[in-house]
């Protein structure tokens, strides 16, 4: 596929409500979109980096910079999605920037051939169960209200963000209020240390599906120690940057579940390799989320339809975060999202909405 040029577009998406985690609170999303213009198709990719490097080391200005200075110029003029990662390999890190570029190329390629992301990746289902991530709230009543609303909407699994000082209490209250049938899990975003093991053991009383990323990103060995002490399964998010990290974590016994985020691992092709590896080792996977617009969400839903994704993902409806999405909104249907089946991601930005939210655009030719 011959590439004519690539557009970098920054959009500002206000969040419906502030989203608080152990690393901070977000009020809006500052998102970098890529549009690859090829000879006879175009493709879109979404960069999931945050505006500040709080979730991981990437941030959106940094992603735009590395894309324009190094990654885009390194692409051969004639490229296929399969060869993108190899062409970008001389440049270390920057997985979210690389993932956005590979996704846009893959979208353009699949649109040209008429195949969907779902079909290309090997999806085996036509809808996926939808979970929701609930931010840290100011009070337990506010948290119960929020969870009540999501349960009423049909979300099949609730994930509570936790942090030291806001963990056992809120989790106990939610379990008590909603009963034993609620699928419930927690995400600490690396806020604890191994010295908190005894405290984290208290979460074992609440029959959680898993505890996500309790310890620091590079604490693989410490996660293995913690996993041996908890009955709650340990799931890794930030620690898993690649299939190689996943293999190391599995081999160490650092986790029994993996949260797969295509941005974090450098793209949908690496995401699929992690899926395959985990499936071969009996490690459950689920699809994480980074508050994507409809562009990133569509591709995530396609990935989540692969057979090894045996737990509900953070693949929520568009309305979880946004009153107006840039694509036709993803909507819950009996707690599920339909897997798009059109060419590429199967969704396109709505031109008027996109124009309204655009802060800047930049056109880059090889």
Q: What is the DSSP string of 176-217?
A: HHH-TTS-EEEE-TT---GGGHHHHHGGGGG--S-EE--S-T
- Interface residue with ligand NPQ among 58, 107, 187, 348 (CB under 6 A) is 187
Task: Name residues contacting Mg ion, limited to 158-187 (CB under 5 A).
Answer: 187
In the complex, least distance from residue 316 CB atom to ligand NPQ, rounded to whole angstroms: 8
Distance CA 186, CA 235 (A): 10
Among the candidate windows 112-120, 193-201, 222-230, 283-291, which touches ligand NPQ by CB under 6 A? 283-291
Q: For strands 127-129 and 184-187, give the pairing.
A: unpaired
With respect to ligand NPQ, which residue has the nearer C-beta, 289 or 343? Answer: 289
φ, ψ for residue 108, nearest 5 deg: -60, -45
Tell me if 340 contacts ligand NPQ by CB under 6 A. Answer: no
Per the structure block, which two tokens stand in for 299? Answer: 């591709």
Neighbouring C-beta atoms of residue 89, cutoff 10 Å: 11
Q: What is the DSSP string of 2-55?
A: BEEEEEEEEEEEEEEEEEEETTEEEEEEEEEEEEEEESS-EEEEEE---SSTTS
In the complex, least distance from residue 282 CB atom to ligand NPQ, rounded to whole angstroms: 23
Catalytic residue list contains 261:
yes
- Over the window 223 to 242, marking each residue x when it contacts ligand NPQ by CB under 6 A and - when it does not, the resulting string is --------------x-----
- Over the window 44 to 73, marking each residue x when it contacts ligand NPQ by CB under 6 A and - when it does not, the resulting string is ------x----x------------------
Task: Name residues contacting Mg ion, limited to 211-240 (CB under 5 A).
Answer: 212, 237
In the complex, least distance from residue 17 CB atom to ligand NPQ, rounded to whole angstroms: 12
Q: What angle do CA 296, 299, 305 make, to 5 degrees?
A: 140
- Interface residue with ligand NPQ among 22, 56, 116, 133 (CB under 6 A) is 133
- Interface residue with ligand NPQ among 22, 26, 94, 106 (CB under 6 A) is 26
Distance CA 32, CA 263 (A): 12
Among the candidate windows 82-90, 119-127, 178-186, 289-297, which touches ligand NPQ by CB under 6 A? 289-297
Residue whose pair of structure tokens reads 């913690």 in the numeric block: 226
In the complex, least distance from residue 236 CB atom to ligand NPQ, rounded to whole angstroms: 11
Tell me if 189 contacts ligand NPQ by CB under 6 A. Answer: yes
Q: For strands 157-161 and 131-134, give the pairing.
A: parallel
CB 277 within 8 A of CB 259: no
Tell me if 19 contacts ligand NPQ by CB under 6 A. Answer: yes
With respect to ligand NPQ, which residue has the nearer C-beta, 74 or 183? Answer: 183
Among the candidate windows 21-29, 120-128, 150-158, 194-202, which touches ligand NPQ by CB under 6 A? 21-29
Helices assigned H by DSSP within the chain: 60-66, 72-74, 81-88, 95-113, 117-121, 140-153, 168-178, 197-201, 220-229, 243-252, 262-265, 268-280, 294-304, 351-357
With respect to Mg ion, which residue has the nearer C-beta, 46 or 237? Answer: 237
With respect to ligand NPQ, which residue has the nearer C-beta, 29 or 35? Answer: 29
Q: Interface with ligand NPQ by CB under 6 A: which residues?
A: 19, 21, 26, 29, 50, 55, 133, 187, 189, 237, 288-291, 314
Q: Which residues are catalytic?
A: 161, 261
Q: Interface with Mg ion by CB under 5 A: which residues?
A: 187, 212, 237
């Amino acid at each position: 596929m011959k590439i004519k040029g690539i557009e970098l577009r920054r959009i500002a998406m206000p969040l419906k409500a502030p989203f608080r985690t152990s690393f901070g609170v977000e009020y809006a999303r500052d998102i970098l979109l890529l549009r690859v213009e090829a000879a006879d198709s175009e493709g879109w990719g979404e960069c999931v980096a945050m505006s500040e490097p709080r979730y991981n080391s990437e941030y959106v200005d940094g992603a735009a910079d590395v894309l324009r200075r190094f990654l885009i110029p390194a692409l051969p003029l004639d490229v296929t999605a399969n060869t993108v990662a190899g062409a970008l390999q001389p440049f270390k890190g920057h997985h979210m920037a690389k993932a956005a570029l590979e996704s846009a190329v893959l979208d353009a390629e699949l649109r040209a051939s008429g195949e969907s992301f779902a079909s290309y990746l090997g999806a085996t289902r036509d809808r996926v169960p939808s979970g929701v991530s609930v931010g840290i709230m100011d009070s337990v009543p506010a948290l119960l209200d929020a969870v009540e609303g999501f349960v009423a909407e049909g979300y099949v699994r609730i994930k509570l963000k936790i942090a030291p000082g806001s963990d056992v209490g809120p989790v106990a209250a939610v379990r008590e209020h909603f009963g034993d049938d609620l699928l419930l899990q927690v995400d600490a975003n690396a806020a604890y240390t191994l010295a908190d093991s005894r405290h984290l053991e208290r979460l074992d009383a609440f029959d959680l599906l898993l505890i996500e990323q309790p310890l620091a990103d590079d604490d693989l060995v410490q996660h293995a120690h913690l996993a041996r002490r908890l009955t709650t399964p340990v799931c890794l998010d930030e620690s898993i940057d690649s299939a190689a990290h996943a293999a190391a974590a599995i081999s160490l016994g650092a986790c029994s579940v993996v949260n797969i985020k295509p941005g974090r691992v450098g793209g949908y092709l690496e995401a699929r390799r992690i899926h395959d590896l985990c499936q071969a080792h009996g490690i459950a996977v689920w699809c994480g989320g980074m508050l994507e617009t409809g562009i990133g969400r569509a591709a995530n839903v396609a990935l989540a339809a692969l057979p090894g994704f045996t737990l509900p993902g953070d693949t929520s409806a568009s309305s979880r975060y946004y009153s107006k999405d840039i694509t036709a909104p993803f909507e819950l249907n009996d707690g599920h999202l339909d897997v798009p089946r059109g060419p590429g991601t199967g969704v396109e930005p709505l031109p008027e909405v996109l124009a309204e939210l655009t802060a800047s655009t930049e056109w880059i030719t090889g």
